[in-house]
Chain A
Amino acid sequence: MHSIPGRRLILSLFLIFLLLPIYWLVNMSFKTNYEIVTTMTLWPHQPTIANYMRIFTDASLVLRLHQLVEICRAQYHHLDLGRAGRRPMRFRVTRFLGDKQSVLLAVVEPDGAGSGLCPAVFSIFIRRSTCSTRHGRSRWRTCIFNVPLAVWILEGFVSGVPREIDETAFLDGYSFPRFFITDTGAVDRKRHRRRRVFLLQVLLGRIAAGAHADLGGRQADFGHHDAHRLRVRNGLGTLGRGRRPDHHSRRAGDLVCPQLQSRAASRSAGCRRAPWKASHGWPGRRRPRFFFALLAGTLAVMTWLAVAYPEAERVGNPADSDDARRPACSLRLF
């Protein structure tokens, strides 16, 4: 590389080439529209910050806070899953598209066929360990974080409905707690059945994925480090090509399932019993108890909420048409 003549010149030109669009953007942001479309100058002759003033005085940009949160969420998933995906599941966990697509389907067409497909999409993602991470607790965080966020995004979506319709909905008894409860209630009602079932399945799917990912992650971890540790413990040391079983087991885990990987590693380490049971305690006694307790608690709370706010409380004439009595959150878009 050092022998290439004019290396610095080439690199400088390449750097300028890369930075030119950004410079042009900065340049344009300090120009007026008239100057942009009439003359082509390398720097603004009459620099102005009017464009920035217009941005920061625009109320609609401030109201789009939920978009920035969505960006944060996407970044969180990307970084967290990317960091956690150093194991065989790396190429699966980084493709975390099912979440966005499912939420959008549920938002856009809550009573349509698309939203009926969402549980299937989620089950596919969960079954293929797409939602898996190395640590189960990050799944728990996602489980607790994502469902309220999805409801919040729905709420932001609903806020775009014209005010007159919104007021009518409030007269009909719409409120944010009711919206949350109606959309996540566990008790089936005919009107919102599919959406509630979907959101409930998302919640339960998240919990299940958390437990599954925890197991898978631990097994995956075992394949890399604990096999070597067990070989040392069993007196095998690092005889022969110590890392080969790890490699094969990793491939097996990648192709088939993490459990096979762990079994292969266990066999290569000369251990009869699945060692993750002994070393990590999962699947043991403590975590399933916690898992089922949380599951039962979630179901109990959701059922209680659904019962505590029955449909009959809604103010409105029973003789009204069904569409008029629908809350604003369930407006059909298509």
Chain B
Amino acid sequence: MIYTEPFVVTGGGPGNSTTFVSIELVKIALGQFDLGKAAALSLVYNLIIIIVCWVFYTVMTNAGAERRPAKGVA
């Protein structure tokens, strides 16, 4: 998750150029107090991360399995 660095260094600025989704979530939930939208956005964000993780994990696990030498080969 990218939150600390842009929050500390730029605070999301200039404009919204370094406002990542995690920072946007906090702004929506605590700044605007729009809890419904923040909840929906966090779920969507979570879903995206899960999908990306799954894809990466699957691809890299399969790649590792392909490279692994067969047992008993000197």
Contact = CB atoms under 8 A, between A and B. Distances in A.
Interface of A: 25-26, 28-29, 31-33, 36-37, 50-52, 54-55, 60-61, 64, 67-68, 70-72, 74-76, 79-80, 83, 100-101, 104, 107-108, 156-162, 229, 232, 331, 333
Contact of B13 (A26, A71, A80, A160): A160
11 contacts: A32-B36, A50-B36, A60-B16, A61-B41, A68-B52, A71-B48, A72-B56, A104-B5, A160-B18, A333-B10, A333-B13
Given A55-B41, A104-B6, A71 B36 contact: no
B56 A161 contact: no
A22 to B, nearest CB: 8
A74 B18 CA distance: 16
B2 A54 contact: no
Contacts of A70: 2, 20
Main secondary structure of the interface of B (DSSP, over half): helix
- Give the size range of B's interface with the partner: 35 or more
A83 B64 CA distance: 9
Nearest to A157: B17
B21 interface: yes
B37 A25 contact: no
A100 B48 contact: no
Nearest to B37: A51
